Amino acid sequence: MKTEDLKNNQEYKYGFTTDVENIRSPKGLNEDTIKFISNIKKEPKWMLDWRLKAYNRLKVLKEPNWQKPKYPKINYQDLYYYSAPKSASEKPKSLDEIDPKILETYKKLGIPLVEQKRLNGIAVDAVFDSVSVATTFKDELTKKGIIFCSISEAIQKHPDLVKKYLGSVIPLSDHYFATLNSAVFTDGSFVYIPPNTKCPMELSTYFRINASETGQFERTLIIADKGSYVSYLEGCTAPMRDENQLHAANVELIALDDSEIKYSTVQNWYPGDEKGVGGIYNFVTKRGACRGKNSKISWTQVETGSAITWKYPSCILQGDNSVGEFYSIAITNNFQKADTGTKMIHLGKNTKSKIISKGISAGNADNMYRGLVDINNKASNSRNYTQCDSLLMGNKCGAHTVPYIRNKNSTSTIEHEATTTKINEEQLYYCNQRGLDQEEAVSLIVNGFCKEVLQQLPMEFAVEAQKLVAISLEGSVG
Amino acid sequence: MLNIKNLEATIDNKHILKGLNLDINPGEVHAIMGPNGSGKSTLANVLSGKPGYETKGKIKYNGESLVELSTEERAQKGIFLAFQYPLEIPGVNTNIFLKTSLNSVRKAKGEQELDTLTFLKLIKEKASELGIDEKFLSRQLNVGFSGGEKKKNEILQMKLLQPKLSILDETDSGLDIDALKIVADGVNSYKNKENAFLIITHYQRLLDYIKPDFVHVLSNGKIVKTGNAELGVQLEKTGYSNIV
């Protein structure tokens, strides 16, 4: 590949900005901002009270700093907490009413908002900065009793479900970023699958940061009622900017008896340039509760973007025989940093968890797996299997594995395997000798390394994810 | 096709090839024999473009200077090396590897890339010629393959990519007699007037099945003797000590 081609390829292809008129909250974090958000979303009083409670709690919390990637102090008073395209201030009722510029944005991003793209078989909720701009396939889902809408809409139309479950997995006062989110969250998705229902299509949310100096505080809540099943995907992109932008999301999953939630993420926020300028701070709290017996929650994440990724999608295995899974690929290149992993909290009997983590580090990047396996004294016969593999490319990057294991039950079984390898020159030579150029060879070898995780993704996403893996590492060898 | 003049090669300050001359024409089979450490594998590595070697002298391949081409360009232009120790690539399906490889070569030649269905049909055919079970193609590349399976896989790749110059680096080592016959049949069925072979081996036994036009003895980085197939038979009896 010629140098120029390479350069063009390496460029973050989602880095454009959409020029739309925005409605913004006043700058800064205070009660007025929270009231502004709640007001513009026409929220009931209980919701505003909940937010204010979180805000009061936040005042006494300190930002955590035990993570490996350090970052300059964030000035929370210098951010906008709400920014939405003016055209979306009244949520468009149909796709025809959406600002064509926004439709065009999603088209460029490859997200099928127009329902004619039926073949994709994916229902999409599109979140643009602080608001959900469109949710597709709603009617079809409604026929089955499935609720798939923005969290803002759910607060108005399904208050009982929201009241019952919001904050039930990530409590208001959990930690600094989670509490911040509870105070100022703007939009995200809400999913409810009724008992004994298998959701007939993939549900997906596409998050887009567009406005500058804006934090995105996404809130997603998914409830799988007894005997139900849902597969949910999220994708994320942002424009290229010199500033670091904060994305602090809370995602809560609740799985009742005999239900299953499969949650997949392809995170491709702007990672900053090759010198480490700009990029998203992706500080996210994701937690699922396997509340019912025989329930299952499976997290799959492909993390290729962001300047700093800091998240631990976790499972609380409360129900007997419940299962938690975490499959992760974290790729860091240039000056990107990741501190990611999972927590598996075993409370019920015969609970099982599985952790497969693949960390890939190139350039000057630093990649950390940090995970907790916690087996409670009542969780008899529970099992965990953990496998953490790290792949290093070049001499300036780092890979670290920090597993915490806490076991209070003698009948449980815990296995942990970890490897760290450098990309093998002989393998590259072998591929080159078969006619593959350096980029193709790296992509092939790395995709092979990640295979166990990639095959967890739904088909439509797996192909995209494989390409993304290759693009993220372009120019890192040779 | 291949003209090597005064080739010298050094790696990690070790001077290994010290003025090697060799000409290979289309349709010819050349065997290179010689004691351990004489530079046989180095020759294969230098021709295929393995990184790390410093070279002097000239290598012309179809009139083009080989040293200026990258490893993949040489492969795309028809130089194939059957590895002495084929590499394992975990997680990579053999079929996908073969398809990616074939399409890279086709693309470089300006030919249309094959879609999955056409490819699968082609590979099934080639595999059955070598008595390779289809199941083996959906396994991870060379992972957990026996020595014989790995070598057969190399020959399968050769037949798939249709190179002009095939270099076999001790392909016979570690093969039982049945696998040896299959490998030799694979080579013989591919051999034609357009392509050439450079077979590196320690033993005559492979040459019982693949008849060479020339046998060269490599010693201390140079070719010290060249003969016809008879030379190989003679070496088997007397060893290298009379020559080197």
Q: Cα(A148)–Cα(A124) distance, rounded to whole angstroms?
A: 9
Q: Is some CB atom of chain A closer than 8 A to the CB atom of B116?
A: no
Q: Which of B83, B100, B139 to mutate to test the interface with A (most CBs of A within 10 A)?
A: B100
Cβ neighbours of residue B135 under 8 Å, at least 6 residues apart?
A: none
Residue A256 covered by a domain: yes
Q: Cα(A153)–Cα(A186) distance, rounded to whole angstroms?
A: 11
- The average pLDDT across A187-207 equals 90
CB contact under 8 A, B91 and A447: yes
Q: What residue of A is the nearest CA neighbor of B140?
A: A448
- Total domain count, chain A: 1
State the pLDDT at residue A275.
Answer: 87
DSSP state of A135: E
Distance from CA of B5 to the nearest CA of A (A): 23
Q: What residue of B is the nearest CA neighbor of A432?
A: B72
ipTM of predicted complex: 0.96
Using an 8 Å Cβ cutoff, are A342 and A303 in contact? no
Place of tokens 């210098």: A78
Q: Is some CB atom of chain B closer than 8 A to the CB atom of A470?
A: no
CB contact under 8 A, A437 and B72: yes
How many CB atoms are located within 10 Å of the residue B104 CB? Answer: 23
Q: At what angle do helices B147-161 and B116-129 cross, to 10 degrees?
A: 120
Fold category of B2-174+186-213+226-238 in CATH: Rossmann fold (3.40.50)
- The average pLDDT across A217-245 equals 87
Residue A477 covered by a domain: no
pLDDT band at A244 (very low <50, low <70, confident <90, very high): confident
B89, B108, B161 ranked by CB distance to A445: nearest: B89
Q: Is some CB atom of chain A closer than 8 A to the CB atom of B100?
A: yes
Chain B residues close to A424, C-beta within 8 Å: 87
Q: Is some CB atom of chain B closer than 8 A to the CB atom of A478?
A: no
Nearest in space to A254 (alpha carbons), one of A188, A187, A170: A170
Whether A1 shows a pLDDT value over 50: the answer reads no
Q: What percent of chain A has pLDDT over 90?
A: 56
pLDDT band at A2 (very low <50, low <70, confident <90, very high): very low
DSSP state of A456: T
Torsion sign, CA atoms A35, A25, A218, A141 = positive
CB contact under 8 A, B91 and A452: yes
Could you read off the pLDDT of B180-212 as tens digits, one per residue? 998 899 999 999 999 999 999 988 889 999 999
Using an 8 Å Cβ cutoff, are A360 and A473 in contact? yes
State the pLDDT at residue A4.
Answer: 41
Higher pLDDT, A406 or A202: A406
Chain B residues close to A451, C-beta within 8 Å: 91-92
- What is the enclosing helix (H) or strand (E) of A440? helix A438-449
The residues facing A224 across adjacent strands are A193, A255
pTM of the prediction? 0.85
Q: Cα(A466)–Cα(B101) distance, rounded to whole angstroms?
A: 17
Nearest in space to A168 (alpha carbons), one of A108, A254, A247: A254
B51, B100, B108 ranked by CB distance to A429: nearest: B51
Whether A118 shows a pLDDT value over 50: the answer reads no
3-state secondary structure of A273: coil
Could you read off the pLDDT of A248-270 as tens digits, one per residue? 999 999 999 999 999 999 888 88
CB contact under 8 A, A433 and B48: yes
A424, A434, A452 ranked by CB distance to B75: nearest: A434
Cβ neighbours of residue B100 under 8 Å, at least 6 residues apart?
A: A436, A440, A444
Q: Is some CB atom of chain A closer than 8 A to the CB atom of B78?
A: no
Residue A144 covered by a domain: yes
Residue A357 covered by a domain: yes
Left if phi > 0, otherwise alpha if psi is -120 to 50, otherwise beta: which for A363? Answer: left
Q: What residue of B is the nearest CA neighbor of A454?
A: B91
A425, A434, A448 ranked by CB distance to B157: nearest: A434
Phi first, then psi: give them for residue A351, nearest 5 degrees: -85, 145
State the pLDDT at residue A104.
Answer: 73
The residues facing A214 across adjacent strands are A80
Higher pLDDT, A207 or B105: B105
Higher pLDDT, A328 or A208: A328
Chain B residues close to A1, C-beta within 8 Å: none
Q: Cα(A475)–Cα(A122) distance, rounded to whole angstroms?
A: 33
Distance from CA of A391 to the nearest CA of B (A): 13
Q: Is some CB atom of chain A closer than 8 A to the CB atom of B104?
A: yes
Using an 8 Å Cβ cutoff, are A257 and A223 in contact? no
Distance from CA of A331 to the nearest CA of B (A): 17
Range of the domain at A16: 3-472
CA separation, residue B140 to residues A206, B23, B91 (Å) = 34, 38, 6
CB contact under 8 A, B75 and A426: no
Could you read off the pLDDT of A129-138 as tens digits, one per residue? 666 766 777 7
Chain B residues close to A437, C-beta within 8 Å: 70, 72, 104
The residues facing A190 across adjacent strands are A149, A221
Q: What residue of A is the nearest CA neighbor of B48?
A: A433
Q: Cα(B20)–Cα(B1) distance, rounded to whole angstroms?
A: 16
DSSP state of A395: S
Residue A478 covered by a domain: no
- Which of A14-18, A170-174, A275-279, B157-161 has the least mean pLDDT? A14-18
Place of tokens 């979140």: A127
Residues 123-182 of B with CB under 8 A from A: 140-141, 157, 161
A429, A448, A449 ranked by CB distance to B50: nearest: A429
Could you read off the pLDDT of A6-52 as tens digits, one per residue? 344 456 777 777 777 778 888 889 999 999 999 989 999 999 999 99
CB contact under 8 A, A436 and B101: yes
Using an 8 Å Cβ cutoff, are A126 and A208 in contact? yes
Q: Cα(A212)–Cα(A208) distance, rounded to whole angstroms?
A: 12
State the pLDDT at residue A95.
Answer: 64
Q: What residue of B is the nearest CA neighbor of A427?
A: B87
Q: What are the residue boundaries of the structural domains of chain B, listed by start?
A: 2-174+186-213+226-238
Q: Which of B41, B50, B72, B79 to mutate to test the interface with A (most CBs of A within 10 A)?
A: B72
Q: What percent of chain A has pLDDT over 70?
A: 88
DSSP labels, chain B: -EEEEEEEEEETTEEEEEEEEEEE-TT-EEEEE--TTSSHHHHHHHHHT-TT-EEEEEEEETTEEGGGS-HHHHHHTTEEEE-SSPPPEEEEEHHHHHHHHHHHHHHHTTPPPPPHHHHHHHHHHHHHHTT--GGGGGSEETTT--HHHHHHHHHHHHHHH--SEEEEESTTTT--HHHHHHHHHHHHHH--SS-EEEEE-S-THHHHHS--SEEEEEETTEEEEEE-HHHHHHHHHH-STTT-
Residue A307 covered by a domain: yes
Using an 8 Å Cβ cutoff, are A372 and A340 in contact? no
- What is the enclosing helix (H) or strand (E) of A328? strand A323-332
State the pLDDT at residue A477.
Answer: 67
- Which of A312-316, B129-133, B193-197 has the least mean pLDDT? B129-133
Q: Cα(B8)–Cα(B1) distance, rounded to whole angstroms?
A: 20
